[in-house]
């Protein structure tokens, strides 16, 4: 059956993504543990320094020190899951170098080929790296609603579809431009800011915060983190799912048009 073949094919690709990344254990440990832990350390120190200068109420934006420490502990973890560097670079290289030929001749799409590997890699990263924010939150009794964690992780995984679609869009630019790799750096830095990884979006000026919350990028870090720390509820989560959906539709349409036109010119010239 077509669905069975589709499932087996993508499951095999997801396993490939897992095995490939676990093969380089040192790189995996750096990506899944060391880098997020260092980021947490830096952010915790910053928030502790900020609260030393807080007013007598001990509140910033209506929340206390423990709430911001919880945010600092979970933000780097979610940020690493909700962003793509490695596979986007590989997709861009495939298009720019011309090695995309090997995928065009296979019975699966370029988008599907890398999506399954990305999801496999992110899943294994999530399984291993979630132990640190969980243990830290439990040890220091941080204000985290653990019963909300499954839905928060679900929206992050759904957000990965948007991130991968954006990576696909960036890779299609390789048909038209020569310096495409710089877009990866620019996009990911923008997502860190727009997603609320650096600071909670509700601390920004209200008009700006409302604009950012209406964009799908806030669903990468801020929305799931606000949901599990009590800064937001189910309404915010539902809005996040909706924003991701229209973001995927818009980015997907743009990527599809650029891909079809690019492949047509690419194969037409015999590159």
Length of the chain as a residue count: 271
38-63: per-residue pLDDT in tens? 888 888 888 888 888 776 677 888 88
| CA within 13 Å, CB half, 217 | 20
- CA dist., res. 126 & res. 81, Å (int): 7
84-139: per-residue pLDDT in tens? 878 888 888 888 877 777 777 766 788 888 888 888 888 888 888 888 899 999 99
- CA dist., res. 226 & res. 228, Å (int): 6
Other C-beta atoms closer than 10 Å to the C-beta of 154 total 13
Any idea where the domains of the chain sit in the sequence?
2-268
Q: Per the structure block, which two tokens stand in for 210?
A: 């409302």
């Amino acid at each position: 059956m077509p669905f069975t073949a589709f499932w087996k094919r993508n499951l095999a690709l997801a396993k490939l993504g897992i095995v490939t990344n676990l093969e380089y254990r040192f790189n995996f440990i750096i990506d899944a543990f060391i880098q997020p832990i260092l980021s947490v350390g830096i952010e915790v120190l910053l928030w502790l320094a900020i609260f030393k200068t807080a007013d007598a109420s001990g509140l910033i934006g209506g929340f206390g020190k423990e709430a911001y420490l919880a945010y600092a502990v979970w933000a780097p973890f979610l940020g690493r899951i909700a962003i793509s560097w490695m596979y986007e670079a590989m997709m861009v290289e495939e298009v720019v170098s011309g090695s995309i030929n090997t995928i065009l001749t296979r019975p699966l799409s370029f988008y599907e080929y890398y999506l399954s590997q990305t999801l496999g890699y992110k899943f294994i990263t999530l399984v291993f790296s979630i132990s640190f924010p969980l243990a830290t939150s439990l040890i220091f009794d941080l204000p985290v609603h653990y019963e909300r964690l499954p839905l928060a992780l679900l929206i992050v995984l759904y957000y990965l579809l948007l991130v991968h679609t954006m990576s696909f869009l960036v890779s299609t630019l390789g048909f038209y431009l020569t310096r495409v790799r710089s877009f990866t750096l620019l996009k990911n830095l923008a997502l860190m800011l727009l997603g609320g990884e650096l600071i909670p979006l509700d601390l920004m000026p209200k008009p700006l915060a409302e604009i950012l919350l209406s964009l799908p990028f806030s669903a990468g870090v801020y929305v799931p983190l606000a949901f599990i720390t009590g800064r937001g509820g189910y309404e915010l989560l539902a809005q996040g799912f909706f924003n991701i959906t229209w973001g995927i539709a818009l980015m997907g349409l743009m990527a599809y048009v650029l891909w079809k036109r690019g492949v047509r010119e690419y194969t037409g010239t015999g590159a």
